Amino acid sequence: MASQTPKVPLKKKSDVREPKRGGKNTGLYAGTIFVLVIVVIAFIFVPMGTGRGPSDGGRSLTFGKYADKPITYGQGSYMALQVRDLNDRLRNQGLTEDNYQLFAYQVYRGAFERTVLRYGVLDEARRSGLAVTEPWIDKRVIEDPAFQENGKFSAQRYHDASLSEKLSVRNEIRDNVLYQAYLGDVLGTGPSSKEVAFVKAMAKETRTVEYAALPLAKYPDSEVETWGKAHADLFRSLTLARITVESGEADAKKLIKNIQDGKTTFEAAAKASSKDAYAAKGGSAGARFFFEVSSELAVKADADKVAALKKGELSPALKTTSGAWVFFKAEAEAVPADFAQGSTVAAVRSYLNGRERGVIEDWAIAQAKGALANAASFEATAKKAGMVVKTVGPFPLNYGDLTLSLYGQTAPLFKGIDTKDSPELAGASTNEKFLSTAFSLAPGAVSEPFIVGDNVIVLKGKAAGTLKDDEVAIIDFYYPYFAQSGASSEIRDLFIKSPKLKDDFAEVFGKYFRPQPSSSKQG
């Protein structure tokens, strides 16, 4: 399989020095891993070896700078080692390459962001006065695998190493220690016992509610048609041909004049010059609703000029919302909206759902409010109005369904709203109105209707509860990891969004990583 990796020699895997585990650095190491892993968003694979890659002949590539320090992919560079590490990790997971540019981008972007994180941390560590003594580094140099033979320090191997190799080892040891020390200071301190107790108290208080749901899809065709007739001009049918010109208004006007002077036909001009999906059809766009044409034009009043065209007439050059220029030829005169046609009613419904959703929401809220007003029986009255009635809970105040990724598994921090049997509440965990209403509603009280996703919801308080200590005890274990994960994300964002970062990644990647022509030759 061809590779996307630049032809740059890399260190052997055995030469990659990982932060040492054990002793006082155990928590520190875990914190470092949290930060490194969080920058790898997607699981991707790019094979190592010779073959496709940047067409640079093995040169080093600089993808940007952090605090004026170049972020370079080259022989032995930190970024090159991260590319190799990502490849090895993903190869071990059995992933394969299906899309050259996508996977190469993910691998190299991940390596780039790891490098930004390291450079940013080292910059901050040195600015804050962190330092490593030379005698301490001397001891670590003696223990370094580069100068070991049969498990012992080899004076001969050290003597034979070049000065640059010795300095490289010393600098890497120094940087690793500063990197870990900074992250240890930032991530090493977990949440206080009082913070954990506060979070557990949040998880304990629960609510159980009944709810009635009226889907917005229940909006009747009769209402759709009534609204459509009140806005009938939007649904006029225009049968048009079009030519789109991206090079400017003057070129569009020149084409119009050539067509009017008989130097070319509209169809020929469309095939030769138009830059849209209709060019191959001689510009023919078929029948379209007025609102569809209007939505493409920068000046909405220009759509009226198009609708007023007689058969065979050309419109002037009109600017589009994308900045291009377009002109139309009427293949038929505009036809008034025909609401006896199911396609017209469907178009009105689609228009309402996409552009005037509030009209449907107002209708549904009014229906729900009318059905449940002064109702002696919530369930009976709701069902009579055609509303689904269910019970959900108990659930805590868990905005966003907080989860934690730990040891390759995802676990909930708090219990969430079970939507398996209540799909109408999909999205309720991030709906402030739902949560605030549920937790402020007294048992037996009925709420005002409100929107959750594609439904109008009315709640009836059923029970306020409190979970037992053993039911939230897992938070003692989970929450410190959750807090550390959040801190890791903030650290990453701090450096990725820093004004010290000059990010040229997209430009460099786009220049050097190009799909190579396929070849039928073997070998």
List pLDDT tens digits, range 380-436: 888 888 888 899 989 999 888 888 776 667 778 888 898 889 999 999 999 999 999
Average pLDDT, the chain: 83
Of 132-136, 335-339, 379-383, give the lowest mean pLDDT range.
379-383
The residue among 190, 210, 211, 189 whose CA lies nearest residue 199 is 190
Looking at per-residue pLDDT, the higher value among 356 and 157 belongs to: 356
Q: What is the pLDDT of residues 309-327, one digit of tens each?
A: 999 999 999 999 999 999 9
Q: Can you give the three-state secondary structure of 95-155, one letter per residue?
A: CCCCCHHHHHHHHHHHHHHHHHHHHHHHHHHHHCCCCCCHHHHHHHHHHCHHHEECCEECH
| Cα separation, 31 vs 25, whole angstroms | 10
Per-residue pLDDT reduced to its tens digit, 434-486: 999 999 999 988 999 999 999 999 999 999 999 888 888 888 888 888 888 88
pLDDT of residue 295: 94
pLDDT at site 14? 35
pLDDT score at 30: 33
Indicate whether 4 pLDDT > 60.
no
Q: Which has the higher per-residue pLDDT, 46 or 516?
A: 516
Q: How confident is the model at residue 272 (pLDDT cuts 50, 70, 90)?
A: very high
Using alpha carbons only, give the angle 279, 282, 286 rounded to the nearest 5 degrees.
90
Among 16-30, 135-149, 340-354, name the most confident range.
340-354
Label each residue of 247-313 as H, E or C: CCHHHHHHHHHHHHCCCCCHHHHHHHHCCCCCHHHCCEEEEEEHHHHHHHECCCCHHHHHHCCCCCC
150: left (phi over 0), alpha (psi -120 to 50) or beta: left
Residue 331 has pLDDT above 70, yes or no: yes
Categorize the per-residue pLDDT at 518 as very low, low, confident or very high, splitting at 50, 70 and 90: very low
- Which residue carries 């941390």 as its tokens? 121
Residues 421, 438 contacting (CB under 8 angstroms): no
| Model pLDDT, residue 164 | 87
- Between these two residues, 496 and 514, which has the higher pLDDT value? 496
Residues near 492 by beta carbon (within 8 Å), at least 6 away in sequence: 35, 38, 39, 113, 117
pLDDT score recorded for residue 385: 81
45 neighbors 92 (Cβ within 8 angstroms): no
| Predicted pLDDT at 234 | 96
Report residue 272 as tokens: 């030769």
**Contact by Cβ (8 Å): 499, 242:** no
